[in-house]
A and B are shown apart, each in its own frame.
Chain A
Amino acid sequence: MLGALTLLLVYQLAGEAIVQLTGLPVPGPVIGMLLLFLTLLARGGAPGKLRGTSQALLSHLSLLFVPAGVGVMLHFERLGEEWLALAVALVASTVITIGVTALVMRALQR
């Protein structure tokens, strides 16, 4: 658990360092994910401990969104002014995205 968590942090740190050095417009953890994915490809598998820790972390993924979600209280004023535009955009865009993805994928499966 501790070793796997350290490994995840080392990859994240490497990702952040690469972003700082190259000025890539991509968040550091994304580069970390890419590096870890490439490592797993090269190794031909993920060690059991890394699988266990990742699963534990990802099975509580929805908890990790809560602190950011509570940040809604900082934006009550803006949301009060723009709520209609944002709400319609969110609902319509979410339905459109689900529909477009599913339809294109099904069309290409045949």
Chain B
Amino acid sequence: MSGRFSEIWVYLATSPLLGLTVTLVAYQAAFWLYSRLKLNPLANPVAISVALLVALLWATGTPYATYFEGAQFVHFLLGPATVALAVPLYANLERLKKTLVPIAGGLAAGSLAAVLSAIGIGWALGASRESLLSLAPKSVTTPIAMGIAEKLGGLPSLTAVLVVATGILGAVLARGTLNLLRIEDHAVRGFAVGVAAHGIGTARAFQVSETMGAFAGLAMGLNGLLTAFLFPLLVRLWGG
């Protein structure tokens, strides 16, 4: 019977349908668990889905490339989703104009802090140059970060993993950090989460409040833009 099963698995695993379907099923299972645990940040749905899928692929001996043939349809949507960020960015135009100075200052400081602290700490602890280049854009949303890493000699797939890990960490650590600093304003809390932890932080912020989510989304879009333009310059200074 188990021989039959593995025959069927081997056949299905070669078709993109399986990779796509298991991704959607794993995510919905993870999201169900996350809602059952009252949106506890430790039960992050991205982390749980990734763990489920890695376990499944490992147990069945399926290579990542085979899985990705199906999962790429989900991954592809990151491109149009990045373009779509223009819409909430525009919707927050009035708030953006009103709080222009704090937003510009927070963004510039946070964006630099994210890149420099990651490179500095990684370098001090002996990470390789390739890993450092892959690590540097970790606070930026995946499609932008992968694009940056690829253009500068990092490993885009490692960047993707580090970006996702950063997002999960940001979603988990934000509440404690901001409470410790006694930051109560939801606009500031949201913006800080968006700069540090991009889309995963933003998804988390939207679950707490609309204002927090809007500011997180704003921060994610602006930080993506700023890092995409600034980071190549920083690397040129550093490498040259």
A residues near B (Cβ < 8 Å) are 5, 8-9, 11-12, 15, 25-30, 32-34, 36-37, 40-41, 46, 50-51, 53-55, 57-59, 61-75, 78, 82, 84-86, 88-109
Structural contact, A73 and B57, CB atoms closer than 8 A: yes
Partner of B146, one of A68, A95, A104: A68
Structural contact, B103 and A33, CB atoms closer than 8 A: no
Interface hub of B83, B89, B135, B195 (most chain A Cβ within 10 A): B83
Which residues of the other chain, B, contact A29 by a CB distance below 8 angstroms? 78-80, 82-83, 143-144, 147
Partner of A61, one of B81, B106, B148: B81
- Minimum C-beta distance from A76 to chain B (A): 9
Which residues of the other chain, B, contact A27 by a CB distance below 8 angstroms? 82, 143-144, 146-148, 151, 228
Mark the stretch among B2-10, B35-43, B66-74 that contacts chain A: B66-74
A57 to B89, CA, bound (A): 15
Please classify how large the interface on chain B is, using the bins under 10, 10 to 19, 20 to 34, 35 or more. Answer: 35 or more
B13 at interface, CB cutoff 8 A: no
Structural contact, A97 and B195, CB atoms closer than 8 A: yes
Structural contact, A57 and B106, CB atoms closer than 8 A: no
**Residue ID in chain A nearest B24 by CB atoms:** A63
Structural contact, A90 and B131, CB atoms closer than 8 A: no
A4 to B72, CA, bound (A): 21
Which residues of the other chain, A, contact B131 by a CB distance below 8 angstroms? 78, 82, 85-86
Which residues of the other chain, A, contact B170 by a CB distance below 8 angstroms? 94, 98
Which residues of the other chain, A, contact B143 by a CB distance below 8 angstroms? 27, 29
- Minimum C-beta distance from A42 to chain B (A): 11
Partner of B138, one of A58, A93, A100: A93
Which residues of the other chain, B, contact A41 by a CB distance below 8 angstroms? 90, 93
Secondary structure dominating the interface of B: helix
- Minimum C-beta distance from A21 to chain B (A): 15
Q: A65 and B46 in contact (CB under 8 A), knowing A101-B109, A102-B192, A105-B188?
A: yes
Structural contact, B90 and A58, CB atoms closer than 8 A: no
**Residue ID in chain A nearest B180 by CB atoms:** A99
- Minimum C-beta distance from B225 to chain A (A): 6
B154 at interface, CB cutoff 8 A: no
A89 to B166, CA, bound (A): 10
Structural contact, B106 and A46, CB atoms closer than 8 A: no
Structural contact, A26 and B228, CB atoms closer than 8 A: yes
Partner of B83, one of A15, A64, A75: A15
Which residues of the other chain, A, contact B122 by a CB distance below 8 angstroms? 85-86, 89
Partner of A8, one of B47, B80, B99, B127: B80
Partner of A65, one of B101, B157, B164, B188: B164
Which residues of the other chain, A, contact B47 by a CB distance below 8 angstroms? 69
Which residues of the other chain, A, contact B118 by a CB distance below 8 angstroms? 89-90, 93
Structural contact, B203 and A46, CB atoms closer than 8 A: no
Partner of B178, one of A50, A54, A98: A98
Which residues of the other chain, A, contact B195 by a CB distance below 8 angstroms? 97-98, 101
**Residue ID in chain B nearest A53 by CB atoms:** B84
